[in-house]
């Protein structure tokens, strides 16, 4: 009996090892760098990064405790997001997840818990505008709300919910046209859940997704065609193995010297055993990948 049990454990272990070593691929991108993010030694709020924006030089980092950091060269500045009363957001209101730079120093921020998207002044942290709520926001789970936020080429805010409610049900996508929210969706494939989004060159929507197992994370990036305000067929650019990176939650896509780069930022949940990392990938040229067009 003990021998059979040992054999069974060995078989399970072998299967898991085989699954692990074959569970990642990066057909559409190549890794450039992985860098630790180290803030001021006396700043306990530097961490828990969920939202990310960059043009390749200046970087904006949003924490899930309602702090917005700006990194420019070796300079680090920070503001605390505030409510309409001018006070820092309370614990139940500050779970910020998605970040979009709107220009003129303003940022759109999506939240979960109290599901909403609001506009903030990135210099002062003061709220500029409270966007209307969609009726469907109330039906989102407490810890599975508006995790990803992006700005479409036509200027619409696009918010993606972290969960769909069923393993084969598409993820809800909410699109704000400046007056109201309309609902669409993206496909759900496997155990991955959306945690970040951005539009890149060519107007395509990049969605960062995450899976979790035994204190390890794996990540996937899917790229969607965006036509007439609706996501269409997708392509998987990256799927990592577990423990390849830390808990990647934020994504920014930008062009530099004619190349498309994807930067990803990790959420360490304010735990010393988890890393805050900045990961950079370069998108491979279409002709190299043999896709044409």
Q: Where are the domains of the chain?
A: 24-289
Contacts of 266 (CB under 8 A, 6+ apart): 37, 49, 245, 246, 247, 248, 249, 274, 275, 276, 277, 278, 279
pLDDT tens-digit profile, the chain (293 residues): 333 333 333 333 333 444 444 446 667 999 999 999 999 988 999 999 999 999 999 999 999 999 999 999 889 999 999 999 999 999 999 999 999 999 999 999 999 999 999 999 999 999 999 999 999 998 898 777 899 999 999 999 999 999 877 778 899 999 999 999 999 999 999 999 999 999 999 999 999 999 998 879 999 999 999 999 999 989 999 999 999 999 999 999 999 999 999 999 999 999 888 889 999 999 987 544 444 43
Residue given tokens 């210099």 in the structure block: 123
Q: Strand 29-36 relative to strand 146-151: parallel, antiparallel, unpaired?
A: unpaired
Per-residue pLDDT, 12: 38
Q: b/e string for 149-165 if b means 16 or more Cβ within 10 A?
A: bbbbeeebbbbbbbbbe
Per-residue pLDDT, 22: 41
What pTM was computed for the model?
0.89
Per-residue pLDDT, 102: 97
Fold of 24-289: Tachylectin-2; Chain A (2.115.10)
Per-residue pLDDT, 267: 94
> In 8-48, where do the E strands start and end?
29-36
Token pair for 266: 């990790």
Rounded Cα gap, residues 46 and 37, in angstroms:
9
């Amino acid at each position: 009996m003990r021998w059979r049990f040992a054999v069974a454990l060995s078989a399970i272990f072998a299967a898991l090892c085989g699954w692990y070593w074959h569970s990642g691929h990066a057909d559409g991108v190549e890794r450039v760098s992985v860098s630790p993010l180290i803030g001021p030694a006396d700043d306990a709020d530097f961490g828990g990064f969920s939202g990310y924006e960059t043009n390749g030089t200046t970087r904006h980092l949003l924490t899930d405790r309602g702090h917005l950091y700006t990194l420019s060269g070796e300079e680090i500045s920070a503001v605390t997001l505030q409510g309409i009363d001018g006070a820092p957001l309370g614990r139940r209101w500050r779970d910020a997840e998605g970040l979009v730079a709107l220009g003129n120093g303003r940022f759109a921020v999506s939240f979960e818990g109290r599901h909403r998207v609001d506009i903030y002044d990135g210099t002062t942290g003061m709220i500029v505008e409270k966007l209307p709520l969609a009726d469907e926001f109330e039906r989102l789970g407490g810890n599975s709300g508006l995790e990803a936020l992006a700005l479409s080429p036509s200027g619409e805010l696009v918010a993606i919910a972290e969960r769909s409610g069923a393993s084969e049900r598409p993820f809800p996508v909410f699109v704000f046209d400046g007056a109201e929210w309309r609902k669409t969706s993206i496909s759900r494939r496997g155990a991955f859940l959306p945690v970040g989004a951005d539009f890149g060159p060519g107007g395509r929507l990049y969605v960062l997704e995450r899976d979790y197992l035994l204190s390890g994370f794996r990540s996937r990036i899917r790229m969607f065609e965006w036509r007439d305000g609706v996501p269409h067929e997708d392509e998987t650019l990256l799927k990592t193995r577990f423990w390849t990176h830390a808990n990647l939650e934020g994504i920014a896509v930008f062009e530099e010297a004619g190349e498309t780069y994807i930067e990803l930022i990790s959420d360490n949940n304010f735990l010393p055993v988890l890393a805050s990392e900045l990961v950079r990938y370069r998108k491979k040229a279409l002709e190299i990948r043999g896709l044409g067009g």
